[in-house]
Amino acid sequence: MPGYILEANHLVKQYGALTAVNDVSFAVEEGEIFGLLGPNGAGKSTAIAILSGLFPPTSGGAAIGGLDVVHNLAKVKQIIGVVPQDLALYPTLSGRENVRFFGELYGLRGKGLQTRVDEVLGYVGMQERANDRVQTYSGGMKRRINLAAGLVNHPRLLFLDEPTVGVDPQSRNHIFESVARLNREQGMSILYTTHYMEEAERLCHRVGIIDRGKLIALDTPRRLIAALGGGIIQLGLATMDEAARAAIEALPAVRSATFATESTMKSAASRPAEVVMPVQANSKAVLKIEASHNNDALLQVLHYCNEADVEILSLDLLEPNLETVFLNLTGKSLRD
């Protein structure tokens, strides 16, 4: 049975009156990709800063590889790699020189250093541009060099804080594949923070959902989604008919019904699921119906619309996902 590479016990971080991390406990198994998923300001970076020894918690504690992070920091640093959210590169140096610099910080020298620098540059697919100055790189290339720097000391546990924010699709895919490969081929444990639920769903073995400093759910993406039971039905109506909305919300298999805002409509559109009827471009209002049971809700909604003579312009059934889980737990969208 694998042991835990990381254990966080009742971590608290207070900034004056603000509790940025509020009694957070979780453990990451050796060889696991663990996601911390939460919106802006949830406390993800603060948690990573504590866990990687940047500053101590106000209370609580953490161990990495069985070593206390506060009292054994020097040893802990030898087994972790940190890729911070904010880039920490020297713009006038080349990518290779930046990675070398981090290697030297870890005590690598000579041939060993050179070999390892080449290796990690290869890992992130940056050999070709490695000798150009960082200031000439795209945002995604800088992130890839940042990732290379975090890998230079062969970490057993890698902290990746929102590695794909502001990154072009090509670099994003590259970062994704590198992370999956490091885990698969080297068994590297990874703590990955993101506010993109698709990333967490695709990459992470387990996710902790964090909101306002609190860990509000922790499980595999599949189980978190299954626990929700239902999904979302999007109904295109001719008008924002409040009476229809209220009646639909009162149906037994329906949890809530709200007219969608533009942003929620967009995120739904980016994730097409099983389309029951084609979406019609002339839909005037989209009613977002959260179902506790998809099939029952669908039957009840159709029955109601038929009886009440509410004209349906379009109908979409969205499969439940981590975004729906978050919405259900907090009543708000991850990107609010």
Ligand X SMILES: Nc1ncnc2c1ncn2[C@@H]1O[C@H](COP(=O)(O)OP(=O)(O)OP(=O)(O)O)[C@@H](O)[C@H]1O
Distances from the Cα of 271 to the Cα of 67, 319, 323, angstroms: 42, 9, 11
Q: Is 21 helix (H, G, I), strand (E, B) or coil?
A: strand
Q: Is 215 in the site for ligand X (CB under 6 A)?
A: no
Residue span binding Mg ion (CB under 5 A) among the ranges 79-87, 141-149, 249-257, 318-326? 79-87
DSSP 58: S
Task: Name which of 71, 67, 123, 135 is nearest 98 in CA terms.
Answer: 135
Other beta carbons less than 10 A from residue 331's beta carbon:
9
Q: Is 46 in the site for Mg ion (CB under 5 A)?
A: no
CB of 230 to ligand X, least distance (A): 28
Q: Is 61 helix (H, G, I), strand (E, B) or coil?
A: strand
Cα–Cα dist 132/303, whole Å: 64
Q: Is 212 in the site for Mg ion (CB under 5 A)?
A: no
Q: According to CB under 6 A, which residues from 226 to 245 bind ligand X?
A: none
Residue span binding ligand X (CB under 6 A) among the ranges 37-45, 108-116, 118-126, 177-185? 37-45
Strand ranges inside the chain, DSSP E: 4-15, 18-29, 33-37, 59-64, 67-68, 80-83, 157-161, 189-194, 206-211, 214-219, 232-237, 254-259, 285-291, 312-318
Phi and psi at residue 133, in whole multiples of 5°?
A: -65, 145
CB of 320 to ligand X, least distance (A): 23
Q: Is 15 in the site for ligand X (CB under 6 A)?
A: yes
Q: Is 35 in the site for ligand X (CB under 6 A)?
A: no
CB of 41 to ligand X, least distance (A): 4
Q: Is 195 in the site for ligand X (CB under 6 A)?
A: yes
Q: Is 85 in the site for Mg ion (CB under 5 A)?
A: yes
Cα–Cα dist 72/75, whole Å: 6
The secondary structure element, H or E, covering residue 321 is: none
CB of 95 to Mg ion, least distance (A): 24
The token pair that represents 43 in the structure block: 């406390």
Q: Which is nearer to Mg ion, 14 or 85 (CB)?
A: 85
The token pair that represents 10 in the structure block: 């009742």
CB of 18 to ligand X, least distance (A): 6
Residue 323 binds which entry of ligand X, Mg ion, none, CB below 5-8 Å type-dependent: none
Of these, 20, 151, 200, 325, which contacts ligand X (CB under 6 A)?
20
Of these, 8, 22, 37, 45, which contacts ligand X (CB under 6 A)?
45
Binding mask 154-193 for ligand X (x = CB under 6 A): --------x-------------------------------
* 183 Cβ contact list (under 8 Å, min separation 6): 31, 33, 189, 190
Q: According to CB under 6 A, which residues from 64 to 93 bind ligand X?
A: 85
Note the residues at the interface with ligand X (CB under 6 A).
15, 18, 20, 38, 40-46, 85, 162, 195
Note the residues at the interface with Mg ion (CB under 5 A).
44-45, 85
